[in-house]
Amino acid sequence: MRPIFFIGFMGVGKTTIGKRLGEELDLPVIDMDSYIENKEKKPIKEIFNQHGEKYFRDLESEVLLELANEQAIITTGGGVVEREENREILRKQDFVFHLTCPFASLWSRLEGDENRPLVQTNSKERLSSLFNRRLPLYDSGSSITIHTDNKTVEEVIQDILPHLGDEAE
């Protein structure tokens, strides 16, 4: 089994869908942000505050490369596509799902979420701008786009499984 990656903007359902697909396929699920936190022994927010974004993005690239051979489902952080080298790593993979939905749907999920620093520190307009800027980056780093808007977790899983072919059996 080759790794299955989920990329997309925060709030689109990468973690939820990844966990459910992991149950369905009996595969481990690795959340890249949690992986980085365990590796560094500190929360992402602290990594950003102490070392800056470049340091975090360097770690993210290192971890992405490390996980590219895992037999697992890998859920990425929303900004993993910011670097061309990461998109290049993703393009070499067979299963990179870009989960997406309209920004208005995302905003209704994200608004007031205190666990997401980007939501706390940015306006709706700034997040919308970030979403629109990243969209082509997600497309550039993925092989399959799956829309999650107005769908249950099970419906999204049913949209994903045919793309996995023999891997899903």
Per-residue pLDDT tens digits for 49-62: 899 888 989 999 99
Residue 97 lies in a domain: yes
Cα 111–117–96 angle (5° rounding)?
Answer: 85
- Share above pLDDT 70 across residues of the chain, in percent, rounded to a whole number: 91
pLDDT in tens, 78-115: 999 999 999 999 999 999 999 999 998 888 877 666 56
> Is 146 part of any domain?
yes
Does a structural domain hold residue 137?
A: yes
Q: How much is the pLDDT for 52?
A: 83
Q: Which residues on neighbouring strands pair with residue 147, listed in sequence order? A: 100
Q: What is the pLDDT of residue 11?
A: 85
pLDDT at 164: 92
pLDDT at 116 over 80: no
Instruction: State pTM to two decimals.
Output: 0.91
Q: Would you say residue 169 lies in a domain?
A: no
Predicted confidence at residue 108, as pLDDT, reads 80
DSSP secondary structure of 131-155 = HHHHHHHHHHH-SEEEE-TT--HHH
**Host domain of residue 103:** 4-164
Q: How much is the pLDDT for 53?
A: 82
Q: What is the pLDDT of residues 1-31, one digit of tens each?
A: 789 999 999 889 999 999 999 999 999 999 9
CA–CA dist 162, 134 (Å, integer): 26
How many domains would you assign to the chain?
1
- Measure the CA–CA gap between 132 and 135, rounded to whole angstroms: 5
In angstroms, the Cα distances linking 126 to 61, 119, 142 are: 25, 10, 24
Alpha-carbon dihedral angle through residues 19, 42, 55, 114, given to the nearest 10 degrees: 60
Classified as helix, coil or strand, 100 is strand
Give me the CATH number covering residue 31.
3.40.50.300
Q: What is the pLDDT of residue 49?
A: 83
